[in-house]
Amino acid sequence: MQGLKDRLKELLTDGTVARVVGWKKGDMPYNPEPAVFTSVDEMDDFVYDGFCGANLSKMMIEATKLEGKTAVCLKPCDTYSFNQLIREHRVNRDNAYIVAVGCRGKLDIEKIKKDAKGITEISGTELDGADEITVKTIYGDKTVNYSDVLLNRCHVCKGKDHMISDEVWGESKDTADQERFAEIEKIEAMSPEERFEFFKKELSKCIRCNACRNVCPACSCRKCIFDNTKFDAQQKANVVSFEERMFHIIRAFHVAGRCTDCGECSRVCPEGIPLHLFNRKFIKDIDKFYGEFQAGKDPEAQCPLTDFTFEDIEPGERG
């Protein structure tokens, strides 16, 4: 981590960049926050460890509008989001300096906390750390395998390669150990009633905080339709009957074909709703109907849903 910090300081000092978008050390062992650093002094608080799961690419929408270049730390999966933002003309590539940081999977604090309350210290979460991490709590110490407490999305890792970079720092690891569409197939195999029950149970927890939308790199509308004050369906009213389901389904449709499956929606949901399932179902269907497509892999590629070919599936056809 020190090497990365030094390099970023160097970029600031030699004037390559005017600011750095990275993570700032938290006040607890597991809560670093995304941050913008504008000076070498501020960089003292920079951190990069297993808890830096946040995808910083969306912050570049605003950052690349500013004067001077902005350096941003992107993990392999974050680079897909960044490419997609280039594709949608949301970020200015010329104003970005991409430091492609290594990743060995990011940690899910909720999983760690399940068996560890009163955490005071966590060690071994650095990029070059051991396979085991030590969690010190006021109720006693524990060790857990790094790979057992990864964010769910890391189990279907898209690979260790960065899709875009100006320079690379650190080694990456492909952490995939599950089939990407296994969860979807399980839901597809349910009866319509079972499936409805499953989603009803999950979505009725929704508190309409809109964190999923606000963190989503594909949700980059300047004004979301759900924030329209002249619109009957209020963005903040969680009506138990149908409202929140509509919100999530509409959102999933809107990001279909553009969603890179970065998994931020599920990571930030305070109620632990597996929101990525909607998006991943669309990805699976797009793959099936239009041929394999990964949003953000190539910033020049045409998305199947915004393109027309004579081979396209007819509306209503179910393959």
Partner 1 sequence: MYKIAIKDINTLFSKIAGEQELILPVKKAGQYNFGVYEEGADTEGILTNKTVKSAKDAFFPQFETLYNVKKTITPADELENGEEASGTKIRTKLEVQMEELKDKDFVVFGMRGCDVKAVDVLDKVFLSDPVDNYYKARRDHSIIVALACHEPEESCFCTVFGIDPSDPKADVATWVVGEDLYWKPMTEKGTKLTESVKDILSDADEGAIEEEKANIKAIMDKLPNTKLSLEGWGQGKTDEKFNSEVWGKIYNPCLGCGTCTFVCPTCQCYDIKDYTTKDGIQRYRCWDSCMYSDFTLMAGGQNRTSQLQRFRQRFMHKLVYFPDRYDGMFSCVGCGRCVDKCPQSLNIIKVIKAFEKAEKGGAV
CB of 134 to partner 1, least distance (A): 16
Of the pair 239, 249, the CB lying nearest partner 1 is at 239
DSSP for 24-87, please give it: E--SSTT--EEEEE-STTGGGGB--STT----GGGHHHHHTTSSS-EEEEE-HHHHHHHHHHHH
Instruction: Give the residues lining the site for partner 1 (CB under 8 A).
Output: 26-28, 31-36, 41-42, 44, 54, 59, 113, 117-120, 137-139, 201-202, 204-205, 207-211, 213-215, 227, 229, 232, 234-240, 267-268, 270-273
Which amino acid is residue 49, in one-letter code? D
Which is nearer to partner 1, 199 or 257 (by Cβ)? 199
Give helix 276-290 / helix 243-255 axis angle, nearest 10°: 40
Shortest Å, Cβ 183 to partner 1: 14
**Tokens representing 179?**
């089939």
| CB nearer partner 1, residue 168 or residue 224 | 224
CB of 263 to partner 1, least distance (A): 13
* Contacts (Cβ under 8 Å, ≥6 apart) of 123: 129, 133, 134, 136
Alpha carbon distance, N-terminus to C-terminus of the chain: 49
* Nearer CB in complex with partner 1: 122/286: 122
Q: At closest approach, how far in Å is the CB of 74 from partner 1?
A: 16
Parallel/antiparallel/unpaired status of strands 140-145 and 19-24: unpaired
Report the residue number, 30 or 290, with the smaller CB distance to partner 1.
30
What is the closest distance, in whole angstroms, from the C-beta atom of residue 181 to partner 1 in the complex? Answer: 21
